[in-house]
Protein backbone atom coordinates (compact mmCIF):
# COMPACT_ATOMS: atom_id res chain seq x y z
CA UNK A 1 0.00 0.00 0.00
CA UNK A 2 1.51 3.33 -0.99
CA UNK A 3 1.61 6.12 1.55
CA UNK A 4 -0.73 9.07 1.14
CA UNK A 5 -3.50 7.28 -0.79
CA UNK A 6 -6.71 8.95 -1.89
CA UNK A 7 -9.34 6.66 -0.37
CA UNK A 8 -12.84 6.60 -1.83
CA UNK A 9 -16.00 6.16 0.15
CA UNK A 10 -19.19 5.36 -1.77
CA UNK A 11 -20.47 8.87 -2.46
CA UNK A 12 -17.89 10.21 -4.91
CA UNK A 13 -17.80 7.12 -7.16
CA UNK A 14 -21.59 7.15 -7.11
CA UNK A 15 -21.80 10.83 -8.08
CA UNK A 16 -19.22 10.57 -10.84
CA UNK A 17 -20.72 7.35 -12.17
CA UNK A 18 -24.04 9.20 -12.37
CA UNK A 19 -22.56 11.79 -14.75
CA UNK A 20 -20.47 9.12 -16.52
CA UNK A 21 -17.11 10.69 -15.61
CA UNK A 22 -15.38 8.06 -13.49
CA UNK A 23 -12.14 9.13 -15.18
CA UNK A 24 -12.09 12.16 -12.86
CA UNK A 25 -12.14 9.84 -9.85
CA UNK A 26 -9.72 7.19 -11.01
CA UNK A 27 -7.32 9.96 -12.02
CA UNK A 28 -6.87 11.04 -8.40
CA UNK A 29 -3.39 10.47 -6.92
CA UNK A 30 -2.84 6.96 -5.56
CA UNK A 31 -6.59 6.36 -5.58
CA UNK A 32 -7.99 3.25 -3.93
CA UNK A 33 -11.07 2.03 -2.14
CA UNK A 34 -12.08 -0.69 0.30
CA UNK A 35 -14.14 -3.91 0.12
CA UNK A 36 -17.17 -2.45 1.94
CA UNK A 37 -17.45 0.37 -0.62
CA UNK A 38 -17.29 -2.15 -3.44
CA UNK A 39 -20.06 -4.15 -1.69
CA UNK A 40 -22.21 -1.06 -1.14
CA UNK A 41 -21.97 -0.17 -4.83
CA UNK A 42 -22.81 -3.75 -5.85
CA UNK A 43 -25.85 -3.71 -3.58
CA UNK A 44 -27.12 -0.55 -5.26
CA UNK A 45 -26.72 -1.53 -8.92
CA UNK A 46 -30.17 -3.06 -9.27
CA UNK A 47 -31.85 0.17 -8.18
CA UNK A 48 -29.23 2.50 -9.66
CA UNK A 49 -27.78 0.87 -12.80
CA UNK A 50 -25.30 3.72 -13.36
CA UNK A 51 -23.33 2.41 -10.36
CA UNK A 52 -22.02 -0.31 -12.66
CA UNK A 53 -19.77 2.35 -14.18
CA UNK A 54 -18.04 2.73 -10.80
CA UNK A 55 -17.84 -1.02 -10.28
CA UNK A 56 -16.23 -1.43 -13.70
CA UNK A 57 -13.33 0.76 -12.50
CA UNK A 58 -12.99 -0.67 -9.00
CA UNK A 59 -10.50 -3.50 -8.97
CA UNK A 60 -9.30 -2.44 -12.42
CA UNK A 61 -8.05 1.16 -12.39
CA UNK A 62 -9.06 1.70 -8.76
CA UNK A 63 -7.41 -0.86 -6.46
CA UNK A 64 -9.24 -2.33 -3.48
CA UNK A 65 -7.21 -2.41 -0.26
CA UNK A 66 -7.56 -5.82 1.35
CA UNK A 67 -8.50 -5.44 4.98
CA UNK A 68 -6.06 -8.10 6.10
CA UNK A 69 -3.35 -5.61 5.14
CA UNK A 70 -4.60 -3.39 7.96
CA UNK A 71 -4.33 -5.92 10.74
CA UNK A 72 -6.95 -7.09 13.20
CA UNK A 73 -9.12 -4.48 14.91
CA UNK A 74 -7.68 -1.61 12.86
CA UNK A 75 -11.11 -0.05 12.37
CA UNK A 76 -12.63 -0.69 15.78
CA UNK A 77 -12.08 2.87 17.02
CA UNK A 78 -14.52 4.30 14.45
CA UNK A 79 -16.82 1.36 13.65
CA UNK A 80 -19.48 2.43 16.13
CA UNK A 81 -19.77 5.89 14.56
CA UNK A 82 -19.71 5.18 10.81
CA UNK A 83 -21.16 2.66 8.37
CA UNK A 84 -18.85 -0.13 7.11
CA UNK A 85 -17.70 1.65 3.94
CA UNK A 86 -16.93 4.87 5.78
CA UNK A 87 -15.22 2.95 8.59
CA UNK A 88 -12.93 1.06 6.24
CA UNK A 89 -12.15 4.08 4.04
CA UNK A 90 -11.48 6.27 7.07
CA UNK A 91 -9.21 3.64 8.58
CA UNK A 92 -7.11 3.26 5.42
CA UNK A 93 -6.77 7.05 5.10
CA UNK A 94 -5.80 7.34 8.76
CA UNK A 95 -3.27 4.49 8.82
CA UNK A 96 -1.57 5.44 5.55
CA UNK A 97 -1.69 9.23 5.99
CA UNK A 98 -4.07 9.54 3.09
CA UNK A 99 -7.01 11.67 2.03
CA UNK A 100 -10.55 10.48 2.67
CA UNK A 101 -12.97 11.22 -0.18
CA UNK A 102 -16.47 11.35 1.28
CA UNK A 103 -19.54 13.53 1.36
CA UNK A 104 -20.95 11.86 4.47
CA UNK A 105 -21.39 14.32 7.34
CA UNK A 106 -20.34 12.07 10.26
CA UNK A 107 -17.28 10.80 8.39
CA UNK A 108 -16.28 14.35 7.47
CA UNK A 109 -16.71 15.49 11.07
CA UNK A 110 -14.59 12.63 12.36
CA UNK A 111 -11.88 13.34 9.78
CA UNK A 112 -11.78 16.98 10.86
CA UNK A 113 -11.48 16.14 14.55
CA UNK A 114 -8.79 13.50 14.01
CA UNK A 115 -6.72 15.38 11.43
CA UNK A 116 -7.36 13.02 8.52
CA UNK A 117 -7.10 14.89 5.20
CA UNK A 118 -10.48 15.27 3.56
CA UNK A 119 -12.17 16.08 0.30
CA UNK A 120 -15.46 15.18 -1.35
CA UNK A 121 -17.25 15.19 -4.66
CA UNK A 122 -17.11 18.98 -4.89
CA UNK A 123 -13.38 18.86 -4.12
CA UNK A 124 -12.92 16.42 -7.00
CA UNK A 125 -14.81 18.84 -9.26
CA UNK A 126 -12.60 21.72 -8.10
CA UNK A 127 -9.46 19.70 -8.83
CA UNK A 128 -10.74 18.80 -12.30
CA UNK A 129 -11.42 22.48 -13.08
CA UNK A 130 -8.00 23.51 -11.74
CA UNK A 131 -6.37 20.80 -13.87
CA UNK A 132 -8.28 22.06 -16.95
CA UNK A 133 -10.08 18.73 -17.29
CA UNK A 134 -13.47 20.49 -17.36
CA UNK A 135 -14.92 23.97 -17.31
CA UNK A 136 -16.49 25.73 -14.36
CA UNK A 137 -19.75 25.80 -16.29
CA UNK A 138 -19.70 22.01 -16.64
CA UNK A 139 -18.83 21.57 -12.96
CA UNK A 140 -21.71 23.87 -12.05
CA UNK A 141 -24.11 21.92 -14.29
CA UNK A 142 -23.05 18.60 -12.72
CA UNK A 143 -23.38 19.93 -9.17
CA UNK A 144 -26.91 21.09 -9.94
CA UNK A 145 -27.75 17.69 -11.49
CA UNK A 146 -26.52 15.90 -8.36
CA UNK A 147 -28.64 18.18 -6.17
CA UNK A 148 -31.75 18.07 -8.37
CA UNK A 149 -31.64 14.47 -9.56
CA UNK A 150 -29.89 12.45 -6.84
CA UNK A 151 -30.80 14.35 -3.67
CA UNK A 152 -27.15 15.29 -3.13
CA UNK A 153 -26.79 17.73 -0.25
CA UNK A 154 -24.42 20.65 -0.62
CA UNK A 155 -24.06 23.96 1.22
CA UNK A 156 -24.56 25.82 -2.07
CA UNK A 157 -25.91 24.78 -5.43
CA UNK A 158 -23.54 27.16 -7.27
CA UNK A 159 -20.08 25.85 -8.07
CA UNK A 160 -18.68 29.40 -8.05
CA UNK A 161 -19.30 29.52 -4.29
CA UNK A 162 -16.61 26.85 -3.80
CA UNK A 163 -13.89 28.58 -5.84
CATH number at residue 114: 3.40.50.1010
The residues with which 119 forms a beta bridge, in sequence order, are: 101
Q: How confident is the model at residue 4 (pLDDT cuts 50, 70, 90)?
A: very high
Residue 142 domain-assigned?
no
Domain range enclosing 82: 6-134
Ranges of H-type helices in the chain: 11-18, 23-26, 35-44, 51-57, 84-95, 105-114, 121-130, 136-150
User: Is residue 114 over pLDDT 90?
Assistant: yes
Residue 35 domain-assigned?
yes
Residue 151 domain-assigned?
no
Residue 85 domain-assigned?
yes
Tally of domains within the chain: 1
> Average pLDDT for residues 59-84, to the nearest whole number?
73
Residue 154 domain-assigned?
no
**How high is the pLDDT of residue 64?**
95
The residues with which 32 forms a beta bridge, in sequence order, are: 7
Residue 100 domain-assigned?
yes
Q: How confident is the model at residue 1 (pLDDT cuts 50, 70, 90)?
A: low
User: Is residue 71 over pLDDT 70?
Assistant: no
Residue 125 domain-assigned?
yes
**How high is the pLDDT of residue 152?**
96
Neighbours of 100 (CB within 10 A): 27
Residue 116 domain-assigned?
yes
pTM: 0.92
Q: Which of 139, 163, 158, 161 is nearest to 15 (CA)?
A: 139
Amino acid sequence: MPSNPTVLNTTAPSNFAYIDRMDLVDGLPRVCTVPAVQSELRAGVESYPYLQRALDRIGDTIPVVALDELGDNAATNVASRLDPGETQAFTVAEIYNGTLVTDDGPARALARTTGVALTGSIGVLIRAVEDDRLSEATADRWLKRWIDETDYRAPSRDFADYR
